[in-house]
Amino acid sequence: MLAPLQRLEQLKARVREAIATPAFTRAHGLVSLALELPQPLHAAPELSGPRFQFAHNHRGELRAGYGIAAEWRAEGEQRLRQLRQRARATAPDWHQLDPDETGLGGFAMLGFAATPEPTTTPGASDLPNAVYWIPEAALNTTNEQSALILTTRLPVEPEALLARWDDWLERLVPLLAQPARTPQTPATLERGPSEPALEPWRDLVLAALDAIERDGPLEKLVLCRRQRLQGHRRFDLDRLNDALAYLFPSCQVINVRHRESCFVAATPERLFTLRGRRVEADAIAGTACRAADAARDAALTVELLGCAKNLHEHQVVVEAVRAALERCCERIEPIEGPQVMQLNNAQHLWSLVRGEIDAEGDVFSLAELLHPTPATNGQPRRDAHDWLRRNEPFERDWYTGAAGIVEPDLSGELWVLLRCARVAGDTAELYAGAGIVPGSDPVSEWEEIDHKLAAMSTALQFA
């Protein structure tokens, strides 16, 4: 295996060869160059500047992006349609170079906030309401293959591009060879106030139940809490990613930084996966805690599968996902579930909805149809959205939004942004929610959210 310095010089030489080819002489479009790396990566290094990372431990997949080769933003009711137009216009002129035949290439990130309305809270978020972001440098690793991918917009001066890409290689390649990080000693975190506090939460849940039980359209509302944590040291985001991947290996660990603060999530819920014309969507709703005792844990699983309240909450989500896919699919397969998805700190009812999308479908049209799901907002979607805008005490920002990887052909995978935190320096704001349906109890829902908040707070102790 080559030493890091030899690997760096070899990659620089490959860049020089590629830039001399006709692909870089075109007057417009994008070019991505994939450079093979010798082994799969287990983590993406932290660098200053705009950055995103998606890592799934069980699947052995990692995508990370650094810098901005191209970016489009939007907000308002037409935000996904506007970004779709940009992406569709870009795709035909996005040229992929893969001299090492890795099978890997350039990709983009699509991410958006819970609601299309721009935030009204000053300084509430560093992230755009919705963004389609193509990174200038990227890492893509699977169980079999890894590549470092460099992307540029055209036209470009070869010497300027060479200097820029050499800089990315010099910053990234030495860090790829670093050994695994040792864990930090667990730190004590100071728990700040919850928003809302317990009594206002009780009132909010009772108001939601009253709205559902009236003769009206609402079947379910999802209410969330925000919890502030204060650390005694600056949080190390690399170690936070490592801790989340270790604690929740079946979740997608997401880290997005556009300016100052980072938005971090360890989410169990896909919004959908689109490969070719085949689409899969998760329907997750209905929650129970875990127990250290195996017999008690098994009993909790049985109770979850037989709980009328949780089964009703779950079925509302299943029907909404199926109805959304029926609008864009030529065929829907029989639904698988409900099964129980078990995480370290919670277990959920889970069903899988599959179909074959029509010829005009892509990640943007699917996102518009499926988001927000009843698992994050309520049902019906518009009525739930309006009720939450009037009654929730704070804006959700990207919590319960969605983010994921988009391929140049506009296939890809998006994840619902759950079990989230906004991290800045030594402070973190955590978000989690609970579904309210007839039979919900305010104290039980409060305790359920505490279990969900524990996912991120536990990981933050090791960051």
Catalytic positions, written as ranges = 220, 269
Q: Is 164 helix (H, G, I), strand (E, B) or coil?
A: helix
d(CA 167, CA 147): 17
Burial class (CB in 10 A: 0-12, 13-18, 19+), 275: exposed
Of 388, 457, 389, which Cα lies nearest the Cα of 423? Answer: 457
For the CA atoms of 404, 399, 350, 304, the dihedral, rounded to the nearest 10 degrees, stands at 160
Secondary structure element (H or E) that encloses residue 342, with its range: strand 336-342
CB under 8 Å to 360, separation ≥6 — which residues?
A: none
Angle (CA) 349-405-98 rounded to 5° is 140
The single-letter code of the amino acid at 63 is R
Neighbours of 7 (CB within 10 A): 19
Cα separation of the two ends of the chain: 32
φ, ψ of residue 322 to 5 degrees: the values are: -60, -45
Three-point CA angle 131, 112, 125, nearest 5°: 90
Residue 432 to residue 3: CA distance in whole angstroms = 45
Amino acid found at 280: E
